[in-house]
Structure 1
Amino acid sequence: MKPNVIFIYPDQLRYDGLSCNGNKVVNTKNIDKLANEGANFQSAYTSYPLCCPFRASIMTGLYPHKNGMFSNHYPLRTDLPYYLPKLMKNEGYKTAWIGKWHLNGGRKFERVPKEYWCGFDELIGYGRGHHYIDSLYYRNEDDTPYKSDKYEPIYQTEHLMDFIDRALVEDKPFMGMICYGLPHPPVEMQPEESKNKFSPEQIELPITVPDDTKEKAKQYIAHYYGMIEIVDEQIGRIVTHLKEKNIFDNTIFIVVSDHGDMCGEYGMFEKSIFYSSAAHVPLIISYPNKINNNTIIDQLVDPLIDITPTILDLCDISVPSGMDGFSMKKMLFEGQDNDFRDFVYYQIITVPEEICDVMDKPDRKPYAERGFRTKDVLYVEKENVPFALFDYTREKLEFMNCIDNFKYYPQIKEYRQKLSEIMNDLEDSWNLKRTQLPPDFQTQSEAIKDYDNNYSRAIFEN
């Protein structure tokens, strides 16, 4: 019997935002249970810590420089040789995506044209944006906007459960993928109960948060934690539904995020930077009777490219040879894979300054960055010039940039050569950049006008 696949993608969730990963304030009991009954990856780092590049790579199994998703808000190429949903569909799977899509460019809060679905049978959601209260969504190819008085992740969970039920009626294995916008900002856009559950006084900040940012960071994180617990509750509902249908034991259940959030460290918020707070993400995979309970995996993995071949491999579907990622199947079943890649790549692709000035910062950068991380170091170059070197054998907070320490000059020379070799192997180039705005790009103020118009004509659904 073919296994089912549930893929849960909370947007912008840090690795240490879960209680199973050491958080002492937030309680993610449902995610913790999945980790306890499956595999919890301790060293999952995304190579491009930004939304659209991650999504595009999950769909294609290719690095962003190969699938063309150089930055946020651009449309994914439709001429690539394979897409995960199509590969699953070819093997008899019923497939659906629920939530924000963000791979078609275009306007915010609009229906996603079918040519950008990557082969999904169903897409219930919208193009892009974050508006969790009074939010909008579209059903497949219907141009009619819908709205609900429920908080967005609640009705999205119900859409997924409805999809599961319909797949069972059709007697088909299924792959249901859901993107919760939470805990991505605006973190204050949540029900009062969760918004006020945690107080800033409960938040213990790392020493990497500067004094002039501490007050803002504590308030932000308190709201951020409230959103995380909402996501955990919805995951619990999905697990319960699968168990009630007697299919949980035959379901591969994946929880992962696209990137973390700086949460005030070094005075920064959001993502799109090399620090671990932005790149280190939770990755939990449950597959009853296949993955042993309490499997802890400490090997470096890159969810951006490694999840796609892993899903295919776990479903006994041939992995296309052109995919960039490695299957984690052996690691999941045996706890370790000695043939696995021993580094995670890092890249930020240039968006020229004149385009950055129009697009919503701070996600875009008018300069290129490339690098790699191993268990011992993080090395980064900016525009082909050494920029950052952190020696994890000395400290893991990424507090001491050793790039100008003369004692490290021999290592820097070695790392420059290694990065050059990695880039050559991956066919990456410093010259890649976007030269135009995304098609039909909207500023935030323009999007709000569209949203108000669409909301006024939306059909209400319970």
Structure 2
Amino acid sequence: MKKPNIMLIMTDQQRFDTLGCYGNRVIETPNLDWLASEGTVFSNAYSCTPSCVPARTTLNTGMDPWNTGVLGTGRGQGKMGRGFKHTLAGELAKHGYHTQGIGKMNFSPQRALNGFHHTILDESDRVETPGFVSDYNAWFERNKTGDYGRTDHGLDWNSWMSRPFHAPEYLHPINWTINESMRFLERRDPDVPFFLKVSFSRPHSPYDPAQFYFDLYRNKELPEPVVGGWAHKNDVPDDAAKPDAWRGKRSADEIRRARAGYYGLIHQIDQQLGRLFMLLKKQGAWDNTLIIFTSDHGDMLGDHHLWRKTYAYEGSAHIPFIVRLPKALRAPAVKRAPGPVCLQDVMPTMLETAGIAIPDTVDGRSVLPLIRGESVGWRAFVHGEHSTCYSEEQEMQYLTDGGWKYIWFPRIDREQLFDLTADPMECLDLSEDPAYRSDLLLWRERLVQELEPRKLGLTDGGRLVGQAGKPFIVSPHYGVRMENWKQMLQ
């Protein structure tokens, strides 16, 4: 068998329950549902650091957040940077793959390649490297039809507000991402296997789908936000007043518009992906291409009076994860796998499928055994964390196996425990219920065992130690990596 082509399709900020194949009966995602019908849907996939830069760093390296050195986007945390010995694109490039990244990469500096032969970038409005202009922004300015800019719709990059895209649909970043991906496929060397990362900057806010998609969902009955009995702490009027609020209670109509825009963006992504899939079939590459679809993290969309990401809750941390193997490797395969899996598993899965040795720096695991129904010896749970970002009180550590979730907030030394089987959207906190004391102690001890090796004062004698007033936790691996990179340049 010739080497398979590999395609990674990544959305930005897409929660797990926004695809038909994940049980959503309102949203229309026929192309991704088709992909799922030929592959395996992972029911319990999680982002271990649910915000953009740290999540993408774990995906690009296969390493746990502690080992990448990027524990969030908050205080004391660095960028993805360079200096990694092994990256997903780099390993594939070493073994004969033509590697191309299109869309959002979140690299630092922004034109860093991190193993790709070439990237074509849509970095929203981020300018972190002096003089940087993204390829999408430059293209938009060249092709717009009037005197307007990319943000003339008035929506912030992290806002809960929503409205239709203000420019012609062909200028939308979703369409641009697919058009650039198709250009790559049409111009590549057909005798060389490709690795193509198709990385959308949506459905991350601004919630600005093309008019057709906004109108379609504005008039549909959409799922209402869930609000747990414990969530009153997030109903803070002063915080809610901000256009980019991370928490607070908005009106029912504002939430419906936000969700209509969000759903519309996902539908627009799906329809554009249909064009890409049809081109693969036309070129005869469809059956010999490994395709993985996932997202870096989710979006709370008003659940528990929360917006955006960085939280351990399902809307933020639980992500879609679909693996569709080349046809020659597809049998036997289970249609749904419970996992639990995480973004670190993408790199080893792709490398094993391509017959490439997995570097010893990789913490993730190939999910091919789970696809074959071989779950013996798989991880018992996923460990996730995020540093302080919006507020000290939301810094968190969490564990989940898809059936239970345990959360610890180090800065306020509080716990939460949820039975996800009975309470899938975490409305009932069981941490203070005497009937679940043994479950709480079991999960607490598991977290202690995860954190004890760090020797940073998070644990003491088998107990968790609150971090109020203490320095922010920073992984020593980040400094070591950046120092190694500097020495490499000398």
Shorter-chain TM-score: what band? 0.7 to 0.9
Aligned position for 1:203:
222
Q: Does 1:388 align with 2:416?
A: yes
Closer/same/farther in 2, CA of residues 350 and 428 from structure 1, 3 Å limit:
farther
Question: Are residues 1:49 and 2:69 paired?
Answer: no
Distance 1:310 1:19, change over 3 A: same
Aligned to 1:455: none
What is the match of residue 404 of structure 1?
A: 432
How many angstroms does 1:55 deviate by? Answer: 0.7
| Whole-Å separation in 1 of the counterparts to 2:200 and 2:374 | 30
**Structure 1 pair 85/125, CA: closer, same or farther in 2 (3 Å)?**
same
User: Normalising to structure 1: TM-score of the pair?
Assistant: 0.81
Q: Cα gap change, 1:162/1:429 in structure 2, threshold over 3 Å: closer, same or farther?
A: farther
Rounded Cα–Cα distance in structure 1 between residues aligned with 2:424 and 2:212: 36
**Which one-letter code corresponds to 1:137 in the other structure?**
S
* Identity of matched residues, %: 25
Question: Paired residue for 1:40?
Answer: 41
Whole-angstrom CA distance in 1 between matches of 2:275 and 2:454: 41
Match of 1:243, SS state, is helix
Q: Please give the alpha-carbon distance, in whole angstroms, between the structure 2 residues aligned to 1:263 and 1:293.
A: 38
1:341-356 residue pairs with structure 2 within 5 A? 341-350=379-388
Equivalence map 1:274-423=2 (5 Å)? 274-287=312-325, 288-292=327-331, 295-332=334-371, 334-350=372-388, 362=390, 365=392, 368-383=395-410, 385-392=413-420, 394-423=422-451
Alpha carbons of 1:426 and 1:167: their partners in 2 closer, same or farther (altered >3 Å)? farther
Tell me the equivalent position of 2:152: none
User: 2:196 aligned with 1:176, yes or no?
Assistant: yes
- Classify 1:125/1:393 alpha carbon distance in 2 versus 1 (closer, same or farther; 3 Å): closer
Which stretch has the larger CA shift, 420-429 or 213-222?
420-429
Corresponding letter in the other structure for 2:434: F
CA distance in structure 1 between the aligned counterparts of 2:275 and 2:457, rounded to whole angstroms:
44
The 8 Å contact of residues 130 and 186 in structure 1, kept in 2 or not, is answered as no
TM-score (norm. length: structure 2): 0.76
**Shift, 1:72, TM fit:** 3.2
Q: Which moves more between the two structures, 254-263 or 67-76? A: 67-76
Report what 2:121 is aligned to.
125
Alignment of structure 1 residues 153-192 onto 2, 5 Å = 153-169=174-190, 171-187=191-207, 189-192=208-211
Provide, for residues 99-134 of structure 1, a one-character-per-residue CA deviation record: whole Å limited to 9, x for no partner: 1221216xxxxxx23xx3211100101445389xxx
Amino acid at match of 1:370: Q
1:94-133 aligned at under 5 Å gives the runs 94-104=98-108, 112-113=110-111, 116-129=112-125
Contact 2:73 2:387 in 1 (8 A): no
What runs of 5+ residues in structure 1 fail to find an aligned partner? 106-111, 352-361, 436-462
Contact in 2 for aligned 1:302/1:344 (Cα 8 Å)? yes
Point out where structure 2 has 5 or more consecutive residues left out of the alignment.
128-132, 145-170, 232-248, 459-470, 476-490
Corresponding letter in the other structure for 2:272: Q
CA RMSD of aligned residues (A): 2.7
Shift of 1:280: 1.4
Contact (CA 8 Å) 1:300, 1:344: kept in 2 or not?
A: no
Task: Tell me, in whole angstroms, the C-alpha distance in 2 between the residues paired with 1:428 and 1:253.
Answer: 40
Q: Deviations over 1:52-81 (max 9, x none)?
A: 111111111112221122323943232222
Residue 3 to residue 432, structure 1, CA distance change in 2 (3 Å) = farther
Residue of structure 1 equivalent to 2:173: 152
Q: How far did 1:412 drift?
A: 2.6
* CA 1:9–1:293: 2 relative to 1, 3 Å: farther
**Paired residues of 1:214 and 1:264 also in contact (CA < 8 A):** no
The amino acid that maps onto 2:11 is: P
Q: Is this contact kept in 2: 1:167–1:173, CA < 8 A?
A: no
Greater Cα shift, 94-103 or 189-198: 189-198
Distance change >3 Å, CA 300–CA 432, structure 1 → 2: farther
Partner of 1:256: 294
